[in-house]
Structure 1
Amino acid sequence: VSVMIALLGDVSLTQFLALTFVLLVVVYYLYATRHHGVWEKLGVPGPKPWPIIDHKLEQKDGETAAIRKWFQQYGNTFGAYGLIPQHAVWLPKTTFYNTVFYFYFSRSRPRKTFSSIKYSLTTATGDRWRRARHVTSPMFTASRMKLILKHVGDSAETLTQLIRQKAAKSQLIPLKPIAGKFSTEVIARIAFGVETHAVSEQETEFAYYARKFLNLDSKFQDIVEKVYQYFPQIDQVLRFLKFNSDFVDENADEYFVKILNSTIEERKRKNQAGEKVRDLLDMLIKAGVTDDDPKLKDTDARAITHNEILGNSTILILAGVETVSISFQSILYCLAVHEDIQEKVIAEIDQVFPKGTTVDYEQLKELKYTEQVINECLRLFPLLSTVLRIAAETVTYGNITIPKGTYVLICLGEIMKDPTHWPDPEKFDPDRFSPENKAGRDPLAFVPFGYGPRICLGMRLAMMELKTIMVYLFREFRFTLSDRTVPKKGETPVMKRLGFIGTRPKDPIQLEVVRRL
């Protein structure tokens, strides 16, 4: 030690700082490249990484474009690098794909959230995930959907009234805001138990915070995400400096937690008074226990803590507002472009639900062609381009071994546009989902809501919402393109990826609406 002190005594401050900087660079280089060579040893092909920046040069045109290029270059499976090695999988064989979907979900270089959703089913693993799944699964059964259909129908009717007003004034219909208003109103009713009047000309407070909940369009968030790839501690540093670096907006999260706490207390009083309220929040409240309840150690018990009630309610904003909104927009746009297909949808809706009849859950199942249209839109405009799972155990597939703990990237967007399963994949063709065409296709070629135990629980709710709003709208209106719409008739919108949830047109779509006679 005395020798070190003596040596440092002859070093100037500038030299000391320079040596420290060089040492930090060397340490970081060794840390950032410690996984390089993993895939070569396992016999997995893939692009060669650059020191420190890995594949960022090849991803200059976007991650999706790079993945598509690598699939073409290396085949159906390849290895890529980051701070954690990733294994990207297309669809080599159903057996392997099926196995991969049974691994736990995790984000690449997982970013922590400090918001209430850290207590939700989406972020849970192991026994906590199994217990939470046991509690939340019954929330989305067919019987529950029948109970909440009225809330969806009321929201659809309110939106229909708003569009009537615009049609009367020959105004264009901006898809993004009206779709967001509808999906926000539904989630407010069924997950928060509140009437928000989100479907109105003026943006309500609830709708404002629902739109702000995810920082999907934040330039600052884009920068943080890029820095995070090389410096995972950036979130903690920014939080210490009082910057909101979370991908969940802090103010919005506080707003929804406040509403939920108030509503939960009100519901408890109503339950004690014998009043019944049937929605998703009520189910969570009835399963609520204290943090020290022994039931929490039983993965089969229907027990959930107060924080988990908050987390699983707020996660529906992420899972239920933006996703339904994006799908709703893509459906109206595609039908405006393909007017012949729109007429088929109108004919089916008129047959099953003549004007003036009540929308019934069982009858919604009779909208076979309408469901084909929805599925084709989900295929062309996937809600999730990729999902990540982490291998719970070592798996060998052919001559490839995926070690336990490996991040496996499943490219849903590429799978659902693979020409092997989808001839002319960029063409909009609902007949791909006719019974005869589905019978001859691998069912795992179309998985818009995921697959396996961690499949999206809300898929039944999403389909019910989309079918219901289509019934209400197409019983009264037609949607078309013209020289004043965005895009204009004959033009194709430029799409952009929206964070980790789906794709959206770069320029918000606006359509003509015409009242049916």
Structure 2
Amino acid sequence: MEDHARAGKLVNLYHTNGQFTSAITARTTFGIDTESNIGADTDDKFTLCAKNIVKSFSKRNSWNIYIIYLLQKFPRLHLFLAEKLKINYVDECIMDNVSYLDALLLQGIAEREKLQHGGQGKKYQDFLQSLVAAKFARDAKITKKKSEDTNGSEPHTDKARPERLLTHEEVMAQLLTILFAGFDMTTSALQFCLYHLAVHPEIQNKVYKEIQELVHSEEPTHEEITKLVYMDQVINESMRLLPAVGIIGRTARETRSYGDITIPAGSSVYMSINRIHKDPKNFPDPEKFDPNRFSDEEKAKRDPLAFAPFGWGPRSCIGSRLVAQELKIALVYILRKVSFEVNEKTVPKKGEELEIFFSTQLTRVARPIQLQPTLRK
């Protein structure tokens, strides 16, 4: 971004931020290092794969949306097509990229199992290592139980067995979920936050001053990051106006009634996070960007569920804490070096509204946001 500022070039936020968040996702999930490619004109293989998968599910006016909803509504049909007929309704772009991730998964599991057998299982500290370690722990329990049964202890019953292991497909599904949460949500949240700061330079300057006062390390520490209270308010207000996920869907496990509304078991329930966040009862003048809404005093006045960019409860976003840390660290590094503005060359231009739409529950921009960076003096 410093190079773009010196050259007077605009920064394509989704492209650059995507490389940053992709590198973190690759490291924390698969143990892969792609950091050297951050800022390059072209994406590395992992980042390109992540962008392609997200892009395929975010096509505007796509029949994919309706097919996905249909399969969610009738899970038995989905299982029949996938397990019996081996039919998966996804396009070739997704399949090519999923095949690439599948190859990474197989390679990573094989390497970690080899290290685990050699007593070196702590070399990696990522999500995949956690899965492999859990697999070995459960395998050991099964082996021990079989040994006890052979030595004349009580017969081995289904109830006595450890919980079943995740299948390869289930592990892959979890990794894809993290890819969406860790890569796409963070990329979107960061670009929207930088956009709001560019539109409101007085707020951007206030965040910069807070960084200068509280962060003294070249590499910000966890303790320093937690002190950035105003930055946290800015991030929350940005996610209130433009949540990365605009709609959250759930399936009712049992019939429940709320007042005169009854939700039957098995029903699909969709909550518009975008509309909840703009309810004037909780947020007066809801279209105004005002970080002070998230001061301790203001938060105490409203129901906690009035703000839920990551969902709520036991099915909330698995990567919410990681996303929060990534956003703060990124803003510290960026705003120390450059400031952003909107002008006659940027997308959108100064005075223009950001054109957004919702696709497959995700918040999307009609055109990539491009801002003008300026070097800090």
What's the TM-score, normalizing by structure 2?
A: 0.84
Provide the aligned length of Structure 1 versus Structure 2. 351
Q: Shift in Å at residue 408 of structure 1?
A: 2.2
Q: Which has the higher contact order (CA 8 A, sep 6+)?
A: 2
**Structure 2 partner of 1:204:** 44
The aligned residue for residue 490 of structure 1 is 351
Task: Tell me how far apart the structure 2 counterparts of residues 228 and 277 of structure 1 sit (CA, whole Å).
Answer: 35
Verify: 1:337 aligned to 2:199, yes or no. Answer: yes
Aligned to 1:216: 57
Cα distance between partner residues in 2 of 1:245 and 1:507: 25
| C-alpha contact 2:65 2:360 (8 A) present in aligned 1 | no
For residues 439 and 299 of structure 1, what CA distance do their matches in structure 2 show?
47
Q: 1:168 to 1:285 in 2, by over 3 A?
A: same
* Greater Rg over alpha carbons, structure: 1
Match of 2:32 among 194, 198, 206: 194
Cα distance between partner residues in 1 of 2:241 and 2:159:
43
TM superposition shift of 1:453: 1.1
- CA-CA distance at 1:168 after TM superposition: 2.0
- Identity in percent: 35
Cα pair distance change 1:514/1:410, threshold 3 Å: same
Displacement after TM superposition at 1:247 (Å): 10
Aligned to 2:102: 257
| Alignment equivalent of 2:9, drawn from 144, 163, 171 | 171
Deviations 1:192-248 (A, max 9, x none): 1111244122221111111112313446x81243467679779959x9898953698
Partner in structure 2 of residue 513 of structure 1: 373
Residue in 1 that maps onto 2:317? 456
Q: Deviations over 1:112-147 (max 9, x none)?
A: xxxxxxxxxxxxxxxxxxxxxxxxxxxxxxxxxxxx
Q: Which amino acid aligns with 2:364?
A: R
In structure 2, the partner of 1:310 is: 172
User: What's the CA shift string for 1:372-420, capped at 9, x where partnerless?
Assistant: 0010111101122222222222222223332222222222211111001
Distance in structure 1 (CA, Å) of the matches to 2:130 and 2:70: 42
Superposition pairs of residues 39-188 of structure 1, within 5 angstroms: 163-188=1-26
What does residue 221 of structure 2 align with? 360
SS in 1 for 2:112: helix
Q: Verify the 8 A CA contact 1:370 1:467 in the aligned structure 2.
A: yes
Structure 1 unpaired stretches of 5+: 1-162
- Structure 2 unaligned blocks of 5 or more: 146-157
| 1:251 Cα offset (Å) | 0.9
The one-letter amino acid paired with 2:302 is R
Matched residues in 2 for 1:292 and 1:410: separation? 43
Contact persistence 2:347–2:371 (CA under 8 A): yes
Q: Which amino acid aligns with 2:42?
A: Q
TM-aligned CA distance change 1:386 to 1:243, over 3 Å: closer
With over 3 angstroms needed to count, the CA separation of the structure-2 counterparts of 1:402 and 1:226, relative to structure 1, is closer
SS at match of 2:357: strand
Q: Which moved more, 1:427-436 or 1:293-302?
A: 293-302
Matched with 1:471 is 332
The one-letter code sitting in structure 2 at the alignment partner of 1:268 is E
CA, structure 1 residues 230+193, in 2 after alignment: closer, same or farther (shift >3 Å)? closer
Aligned-partner Cα distance in 1 for 2:87–2:162: 40
Equivalent residue letter for 1:250: M
Partner of 1:88: none
Distance 2:3 2:162 in 1: 51
Show the counterpart of 1:282: 129
Distance in 1 of aligned mates of 2:27 and 2:274: 31
Amino acid at match of 2:47: A
Letter in 2 for 1:505: V
**TM-score of the pair, normalised by structure 1:** 0.62
Deviation larger for 407-416 or 442-451: 407-416
Please tell me the residue identity of whatever aligns with 1:432: R
